[in-house]
A and B are shown apart, each in its own frame.
Chain A
Amino acid sequence: MSYLTSSPIDVASLLLEARDSDGALCLFLGVVRNENEGRPTTGIQYEAYGSMAETEMERIARLLATEFPDVELRMQHRVGRLSVGEASVAVVALSPHRSEAFAACRAAIDRIKTTVPIWKKEFHPDGSSHWVDPTKK
């Protein structure tokens, strides 16, 4: 499965087929909210350097497989124009026990946000928009 999708993320399919040894499934969804830093937001346009984003998410998966050998990780990031309430990213971590599932899920989303070449443009009710720069918080 591709790490990027231009269609709505199919969360149900990401939850299918746990291994018999799995006792925990941790799901994180990033969702478009209606404001950012006090400014109302109507939607977000996600843009990716697609081929590099795939490579980078594969690298994250490989590194986390080393750090959490018992965890199976599934990740998907949406690209395109999203409305408030839609999921932009999903991470699923399956593990025999919950502590590794939580930790791997957290580590995955934190790394996705740091290194994967994806950008977002926020749209506001007055029709204006701007590229989000997380380094300027």
Chain B
Amino acid sequence: MQIRILHFASFRDAVGRDADVRELSEGTRVRDLWASLGHEVPLFARFRAMPPAAVNREYVSGETVLQDGDEVAFLPPVAGG
């Protein structure tokens, strides 16, 4: 299955791109995706805990199982206002 990952703010700077498309195996959870990104992005590997994550524009837990076509984002600490 295929999902799309969006990168924002400091995470986009760290990755060097706005977005990525990934092929994942069925049953991949949000936390599994975060762990795999940690192997590629040094900034992500330094996190002790997974940052807040969203699937299809809603906050989700790391246990959420990804589905084909999902839009996933890991969110740097928000700083609106």
Binding site for B on A (CB under 8 A): 30, 46-49, 51-53, 55, 77, 88-89, 109, 112-121, 131-136
Contact = CB atoms under 8 A, between A and B. Distances in A.
Contacts of B76: 119, 131, 133
B77 A133 contact: yes
Interface string B45-81: 0000000001001110000000000000101111111
Given A55-B57, A119-B10, A135 B80 contact: no
B1 interface: no
Contact of B75 (A55, A117, A121, A132): A117
B41 interface: no
Which of B58, B77, B78 counts the most chain A CB atoms within 10 A? Answer: B78
B22 to A, nearest CB: 18
Which of A48, A51, A119 counts the most chain B CB atoms within 10 A? Answer: A119
A49 B73 contact: yes
B57 A116 contact: no
Contacts of B34: none
A65 B6 CA distance: 31
Interface of B: 6, 8-10, 13, 54, 57-59, 73, 75-81
30 contacts: A47-B8, A48-B80, A49-B54, A49-B73, A49-B75, A52-B58, A55-B57, A55-B58, A88-B80, A89-B80, A109-B81, A112-B80, A113-B78, A115-B59, A116-B78, A117-B75, A117-B78, A118-B78, A118-B81, A119-B79, A120-B79, A120-B80, A121-B9, A131-B10, A133-B10, A133-B76, A133-B77, A134-B77, A134-B78, A136-B77
B80 A46 contact: yes
Contact of A51 (B9, B57, B79, B80): B57
B8 A119 contact: yes
A88 B81 CA distance: 6
A35 to B, nearest CB: 16
